Amino acid sequence: MSILVNTDSRIMVQGITGNEGMFHSWQMFQYGSNVVAGVTPGKGGEWVFEGKVPVFDSVKVAREATGANVSVIFVPARFAADAMIEAADAGIPLIVCITEGIPVKDMMRVRKYMDQMGSRLVGPNCPGLLTPGEAKVGIIPGNITKPGNVGVISRSGTLTYEVLYAMLNVGLGSSTCVGIGGDPVNGINFLDVLELFESDPQTDQIVMIGEIGGTDEQKAADYISRYMTKPVVSFIAGQSAPPGKRMGHAGAIIESGSGTADEKIHALRLAGVQIAHHPEEIAQILIR
């Protein structure tokens, strides 16, 4: 099994005719993901990928024509909020937004609408999802992992790749890898994915990659201590970050002494989570 995406996922790409959309959706297509449609206003009626994937003017029409149930968004930041809302309005149950640089006020509007419509959002500013051997939705390289029993959830795209490759080098694969993104306002969080992994019979161990800023890791620690039966290994990025300085992600900032790496590590250790000192150590902990 897997979580969120699998061989039954019917994927549409919003922004498929742009440079980023075309490049990454072609990688998804070559991986074997079931890409059934693209959406670019004004480009309806065109075809991409050697005439195998149709392009539509709107998400609603694309869904009605193809039965798409997942949308991945590769549109510029100024259009991304409307793209997410359009997908939710069309009834797409899973929306993955790769776009970075979306204003916080736009994401607050999106989250309110998503909660009303019942769609599940991954991102924005995230690498997306990968269920090895089944579906790649986003930009996670397909060649750095293989099918396995380790569920991976991360706020950092780059660290996700590093950890997956380190796992592969010791023979470990992943059930599903979920990049949730590091923006202050986003879609699904650690708790949502931990719950899905806990219920997934294919997942035996879980890797959680966090970073400074906010209190999501502390909330995850409380959830782990109360409800999780599967072992969790974690790494927290930004341990040497000075207070008040943003480190990469818009949400990765320590303010007024809150959101420090030490706070997060302490909470996770109390919950029984094994802590890695550096990303590559995660793979070694998993095989012990």
Report how far residue 47's alpha carbon sits from residue 38's, in angstroms, rounded to the nearest whole number. 9
Is the distance from CB of 65 to CB of 90 less than 8 angstroms? no
H/E stretch holding 193 reads helix 190-199
Structure tokens at 197: 């992994």
Spatial neighbors of 138 by CB under 8 A, at least 6 apart, are 24, 28, 72, 96, 98, 126, 127, 128, 129, 130, 179
Is the distance from CB of 59 to CB of 71 less than 8 angstroms? yes
Angle at 275 between CA 272 and CA 278, to 5 degrees: 170
**Pick the catalytic residue: 24, 249, 266, 278?**
249
Q: Is 277 a catalytic residue?
A: no
Show which residues are catalytic: 249
